[in-house]
Homo-oligomer: A and B are copies of this chain.
Amino acid sequence: MVTKQFKGSPEEADLRRADSLAREIFSDVANKWALLIIEALGERTLRFSELRNDVEGISHKMLTQNLRMLERYGLVERKVYATVPPRVEYTLTEPGQALRATVDGMCGWTHQYLGHIEASRRRFDA
């Protein structure tokens, strides 16, 4: 839609594009694996295999896929060392660190309301 006619001002158009872009980014980033990777990277740099261990339950494929996405978005930096065997390190960039701050908030929230949620869940299931 909104392809043939355009009723609003150019500024309105920009806002709409920005909104849909923001929404797209949000949809990509707001998935558990991406956020758990961000959280795992915390302050320290990690290798692919270390991430695989730290982010419990993540598959090889999802790790690769999400790392590519995060790299593409400029949230993590990928550093390849031309050694044998190869060594690849991932580090949060500044935007990545900023995101991590909010993810930390979510983790804190989870722990804070753990008891409440567990109780509510038990109640609901009865």
A residues with CB within 8 A of B? 18, 21-23, 25-27, 29-32, 35-36, 56, 71-75, 95, 98-99, 101-103, 105-107, 109-114, 116-121, 123-125
State which of B23, B30, B73, B114 has its C-beta within 8 Å of the C-beta of A56. B23
State which of B72, B95, B102 has its C-beta within 8 Å of the C-beta of A106. B102
Residues of B near A98 (CB, < 8 A) are: 109, 112-113
- Nearest-Cβ distance from residue A123 to partner chain B, whole angstroms: 8
- Nearest-Cβ distance from residue A30 to partner chain B, whole angstroms: 4
Q: What are 15 A-to-B residue pairs whose CB atoms are below 8 Å?
A: A18-B114, A26-B106, A26-B107, A26-B110, A30-B35, A30-B36, A31-B32, A71-B124, A72-B120, A73-B117, A74-B123, A74-B124, A99-B113, A102-B102, A102-B105
CA distance A111 to B30 in the complex (A): 14
Residues of B near A107 (CB, < 8 A) are: 22, 26
Q: Is the CB of A113 within 8 A of B125?
A: no
Q: Is the CB of A72 within 8 A of B121?
A: yes
Q: Is the CB of B32 within 8 A of A27?
A: yes
CA distance A100 to B56 in the complex (A): 26
